[in-house]
Copies of this chain bind each other. A is one copy, B any other.
Amino acid sequence: MSANRDIEALIDMMARLPGLGPRSARRAVLHLIRKRALLMTPLADLMQQVAATARECLNCGNIGTGDICEICASDKRANGMICVVEDVADLWAMERSGVFKGRYHVLGGTLSALDQIGPDQLRIPRLVDRVDSENVTEVILALNATVDGQTTAHYIADQLEGRVTLTSLAQGVPIGGELDYLDDGTITAALNARRKV
């Protein structure tokens, strides 16, 4: 390649982002170089700043700019509910819906015997502590509907049994979903959990 070494190194580094390969990284870098002043410089500045300030909340594992994230720091969110999610991306998805007003607990993954991930790697002891210390009345298990996710949910349910109300997200037909395109498992779950109209 004839571009200088910095540009090549930048392409290599961009190609390590999830969702980008060598080809799309080249395209993205060319786009950035064409919009040096409008996009590349501000993006680099912002990245620098986030890299310097972003950290995991010591309480819940969410990403924020302080030792304690905005949600854990806000008294308004202390409604006695904790929503347990696998990942910060899941937390963001829940927050976009805007319907949950409580606090979160980010596990950082799921239990996995294969990958040797046990409860201690997943902030589960910290969750048990929080249930006692934050006057929690309900723990919502918003884990993915995968085998690992459900295993983890069962483990947490065992740990917290009798201490709080434990709930999980409803399973059924997604809003806007067409039955014809749904898998058998979802239809079965939706039928079993049918409600009176």
Contacts and interface: CB of A to CB of B under 8 A. Distances in A.
A44 B33 CA distance: 14
B36 A95 contact: no
B20 A28 contact: yes
Interface in A50-75: 50-51, 53-54, 62-65, 69-71
A84 interface: no
A27 B13 CA distance: 16
A62 to B, nearest CB: 6
A39 B48 CA distance: 11
**Chain A residues touching B, majority SS:** helix
Nearest to A66: B4
Contacts of A41: 48, 51
Contacts of A65: 4, 6
A28 B17 CA distance: 6
B20 A20 contact: yes
Given A13-B39, A13-B42, A6 B71 contact: no
Integer count of this chain's copies in the complex? 2
A196 interface: no
Contacts of A46: 6, 9-10, 13
A87 to B, nearest CB: 8
Given A17-B31, A44-B47, A2 B95 contact: yes
A63 B33 contact: yes
A92 B27 CA distance: 11
Contact of A63 (B7, B43, B48): B7
A37 to B, nearest CB: 8
Contact of A49 (B6, B29, B104): B6
Interface string A74-96: 00000000000001110110011
